[in-house]
Amino acid sequence: MPRVNGVSNGHNGEFPLSGSGCWTIGLINAKAKYLTAETFGFKINANGVSLKKKQMWTLEPAEKDLICFKSHLDKFISVDQYGNVNCEQEERDNACLFEVSVTDDEHGRWALRNVTRGYYLGAAGDKLVCNAKVPTEAELWTVHLAARPQVNLRSLGRKRYAHLSESGEEIQVDANVPWGEDTLFTLEFRDDKYAIHTSNNLYLARDGRLTEKCTRENLFCLEYHHGSLALRDHQGLYLSPIGSRSVLKTRSNTVTKDELFALEDSLPQAAFGALLNGRHVSVKQGVDVTANQEEVSDDEKYQLEHDVATGRWYVRTMHDKYWTLEAGGGIQANANKPTSNALFDFQWQADGSVAFRANNGKFIATKKSGHLYANADNADDESARFHFYLINRAVLVLKCEQGFVGFKSSTSSKMECNKASYETIKAERGDQGQVFFKSQKGGYWHACGDGIMADGEAPEGFFIELREANRMCLKNSSGQYLVTEKNGGLKLGDTDPTRATLWEF
């Protein structure tokens, strides 16, 4: 019988939730099958082979350190007095509550004890049962996060964000705001554990080093602590910020506030280059938004916040100010709160550039001085167009309705879009808003016949068009959009943006 520890490990429930404290997860049993909620009849089993809609569960925190699970049909798992497991309840009660214990070996699997029944949840063939007084292999579950894998990592103890150090050799937890690609991390699910992949394509090791290869030293099991996350290495030690430089490494074998992290969705951040003068749009000089900088620093990076109601965007600076249309048509970054005059319609142009239509119906144009004014009637003139650079996605993970983008097979260089697990894609910035996609095997993306291959020696340029907060369209320099096929293939389609595939990133 595996030994299990209480999930609290010294945690007494006093720490705040991260957002709602809910996670979207998959649960994998000892036979590598996912807990599944069938669409009809509210039947549940542990027969799922990959993490798709029916295998996704919302983990919700309850009182104390208890949790419950809700299916994609918004029904709660519950256990009756005989140990029968159902998933039909719309409202949770005590029969839906579970207590988590974690095995103290390097796998860190979860044992789920139902509060009212007092027994552990297990899978027996097509059935789920709750009859084990002590957890055996059949009652142990691996947690697979189903959230977007690219996140910002905030320390609850330090109240700061993790970022890649300037040297690129370690992760430090001392950033006030998650700004730029250095604060974006990809959580890779490998061998039922998690690796932390940095924007410079390295993996965090337990001793704080960053390494090219992902080995046992780079893998961490995941624990849930009332809405927050703790990551444990194979020796039972937890990641935390250490020392005056807040270097992320493992040290303690108990969980306090210092060992807890919140995962936060990373909003897109971009830089804009004016076609008129080739300079980047900046707020370095003060409140005026001006295209006058040759290099991209924090003052030339902007967070893009999508307004669902209007389909338009707020553009936010690192100093927590918003681009705003002023009375004379000028664009300034002086608003503390977003207003209607801070909303801009992004209109993507045939040449891969973007034009911004302000709240007065006019397009933003660049004056010879570099100052931006919303006074252009259309985007035909190059003064009203800007190159777009997505700057906080040096590594991309792409997903569509069919699944993740990855290789067709381990021996193939052809890309498909129906994978249960993802391949990380290196995104290299080119000139004039172009981006080059490079696989971890070293080859560049290029169109070949009826598909996309990732074995090119020379880069082939693509343009990114943001459509929603976390969805983009991709097109090549000829204006052809990347689209999906029913069999999981992806290829270049026509130039009509309405038929372009929306890629979640």
Q: Find the CATH number of the domain harbouring 440.
A: 2.80.10.50
Which phi and psi (to 5°) does residue 218 adopt? -105, 5
Domain shared by 434 and 419, yes or no: yes
Rounded alpha-carbon distances, angstroms, from residue 448 to 377, 445, 453: 40, 9, 6
What is the structure's pLDDT at 17? 32
Q: CA–CA separation, 396 vs 436, rounded Å? A: 11
Phi-psi region of 282 (alpha: psi -120 to 50; beta: other; left: phi over 0): beta
DSSP labels, 46-64: EEESS-SGGG-EEEEE-ST
State both tokens at 292: 């006058």
The per-residue b/e assignment along 127-155, b for 16 or more CB within 10 angstroms, e otherwise, is ebbbbbeebeebbbbbbbbbebbbbbbbb
Residue 11 CB contacts under 8 Å (≥ 6 apart), including other chains = 65, 225, 226, 255, 256, 260
Q: CA–CA separation, 145 vs 267, rounded Å? A: 19
Rounded alpha-carbon distances, angstroms, from residue 55 to 34, 38, 75, 144, 402: 6, 9, 13, 10, 14
The amino acid at residue 439 is S
Domain shared by 158 and 124, yes or no: no
Domain shared by 439 and 355, yes or no: no
Task: Look at residues 314, 324, 327, 337 and name the one whose alpha carbon lies nearest to residue 288.
Answer: 324
State both tokens at 384: 């009203």
Domain shared by 226 and 189, yes or no: yes
Domain shared by 29 and 122, yes or no: yes
Sign of CA dihedral 204, 207, 211, 216: negative
Give the domain-ending residue among 364, 390, 416: 390
What is the structure's pLDDT at 5? 61
Q: CA–CA separation, 242 vs 445, rounded Å? A: 40
Q: CA–CA separation, 476 vs 421, rounded Å? A: 25
Please list the residues that pair with 288 across neighbouring strands: 332
Q: CA–CA separation, 250 vs 127, rounded Å? A: 39
Tally of domains in the chain: 4
Three-state DSSP class for residue 216 = helix
CA atoms within 13 A on the CB side of 151: 17
What is the structure's pLDDT at 427? 94
DSSP labels, 370-406: SBEEEEESSS-SGGG-EEEEETT-SEE--EETTEEEE
Domain shared by 274 and 375, yes or no: yes
Give the domain-ending residue among 145, 168, 202: 145
Domain shared by 62 and 155, yes or no: no
CB 268 within 8 A of CB 239: no
DSSP state of 267: P
Domain shared by 113 and 131, yes or no: yes
What is the structure's pLDDT at 227? 80
Which domain range does residue 451 map to?
Answer: 395-504
What is the structure's pLDDT at 150? 86
- Continuous segment of H or E residues that includes residue 440: none
Give the domain-ending residue among 226, 248, 265: 265
Domain shared by 401 and 367, yes or no: no
DSSP state of 367: -
Rounded alpha-carbon distances, angstroms, from residue 126 to 33, 34, 47: 11, 11, 7
Three-state DSSP class for residue 182 = helix
What is the structure's pLDDT at 4? 62
Domain shared by 240 and 183, yes or no: yes
Residue 318 CB contacts under 8 Å (≥ 6 apart), including other chains = 177, 179, 298, 299, 301
Domain shared by 491 and 368, yes or no: no
The 10s digit of each residue's pLDDT in 298-319 is 999 999 999 999 999 999 999 9
Three-state DSSP class for residue 253 = coil
Domain shared by 35 and 167, yes or no: no
pTM confidence score: 0.83
Q: What is the mean pLDDT of each run of 10 residues along the chain (505 residues)?
A: 50 37 89 93 91 92 90 96 94 95 91 96 88 95 85 95 96 94 92 93 97 97 88 96 97 96 91 97 95 96 96 96 96 94 97 97 97 96 97 91 90 91 90 95 91 94 94 95 93 93 93
Residue 186 CB contacts under 8 Å (≥ 6 apart), including other chains = 149, 150, 151, 196, 197, 395, 397, 424
Residue in this structure with the two tokens 């907060």, named with its chain if needed: 469
